[in-house]
Structure 1
Amino acid sequence: MQTHLVFTVIARDRPGLVERVADIIAGMGGNWIESSMARLGGEFAGIVRIGIAGESSDELVAKLRALSADGIDITLRSDQTGADVPQGAFAHLDLVSQDHPGILRDITRVLSEQGVSIEHLETEVAIGSMQGEALFKASADLRLPAGLEPADLSEALQETAADLMADVKLID
């Protein structure tokens, strides 16, 4: 029976990190299903989901954890036989605001209050092109709960966006 493992990986950024992890997984007959990885502040961090035969999962986990001797930290977060199929409508959120503390907190509070799940989130602070001021940018893929219309979510987000002086676009 196939087991799905979800784990995080973090290490000081250097060439060959992903190859080391992928080599162990492939060597054990595992299948790299999905991942999201990035270099952040000199560190390399990611989350990975793989599939592997159930009888091989303990050995694979041991081999991945042994990478800590080389400064590659692996943390197992789940061990499931399958993935839940997401329910509800899909929407995409784009946000731009002059940077200041609390923007993400305020926007995610609205999402939480509405029962919205964040499936993917990317954020950055970039220099604006005109005045050179710092801009906070966020892009998120969202899963709305059954019964929540994108227009209703957009209205709730716009109220908070006005307080933040942010430009928020919700695309369904």
Structure 2
Amino acid sequence: MNQSLVLSILSDDKPGVVETLAKTINDHQGNWLESRLSQLAGKFAGILHISVPEEQLEALQTALRNLQSSRGIQVATAAAAGAENGPGTIVMQFSLMGNDRAGIIREISQAFVSHGINLEELDTSCSSMPWSGTPMFTANGLLRVPDSVDIELLADQLEAIADELGVDFELRETESPVAD
């Protein structure tokens, strides 16, 4: 029987990190299922979902821990949890753009949690506006929204926050369903 694991990785950004992880997983008969990997501020970080035969689990976890001393790759492992999101939710997307300032993510995430909304994905970046050089912050994400949430009330609350922060905010239902 296969075990499902989630790995969190952190390393200096250098060639060979992904290959080293893939080889280690493969050497233990593991299967790389999905991942989100990125270079940020000179570091390479990510999360991976893998499956591994139960009889290889302990050896793989030991090999992954040893990557810290041998290759400078930190790996934390955790058993994958079952899907918590069942019927009674809708998936929505949001996007935000405006002048960068501290507290933007804190403000919108507080609004989400006050409605019992799960933030499933979040991508953010900060760049310079081409015409002025002013720092511009963008955020895009996926939300799992309980059916009980009044979407109009939520949209009004998020628009009020966006006005206060001086950012543009858009909330929309996804065009295609996301699997639970």
**Fold match, TM over 0.5?**
yes
Q: Report the equivalent of 1:75.
A: 76
Unaligned runs of 5+ in 2: 174-180
1:78-126 superposed Cα distances (whole Å, 9 cap, x missing partner):
214x631523100001001111111111111111111111111011111
The answer on 1:66 being equivalent to 2:75 is: no
The answer on 1:121 being equivalent to 2:122 is: yes
Cα separation, 1, equivalents of 2:112 and 2:154: 8
Contact preservation (8 Å) 1:119, 1:141: yes
Unaligned runs of 5+ in 1: none
Q: Which of 103-112 and 83-92 deviates more?
A: 83-92
TM-score (norm 1): 0.93
Q: Which of 125-134 and 145-154 deviates more?
A: 145-154
Q: Report the equivalent of 2:107.
A: 106
The residue identity in structure 1 corresponding to 2:97 is V
Deviation at 1:54, TM superposition (A): 1.5
Query: Matched residue of 1:74: which SS?
Result: strand
Aligned-pair Cα RMSD in Å: 1.3
TM-score (norm 2): 0.89
Q: Report the equivalent of 2:83.
A: 84
Q: Report the equivalent of 1:152.
A: 153
The residue identity in structure 1 corresponding to 2:131 is M
| % same residue | 30
The residue identity in structure 2 corresponding to 1:96 is M
Cα separation, 2, equivalents of 1:40 and 1:150: 34
Cα separation, 2, equivalents of 1:96 and 1:29: 43
Q: Report the equivalent of 1:55.
A: 55
Q: Report the equivalent of 2:5.
A: 5
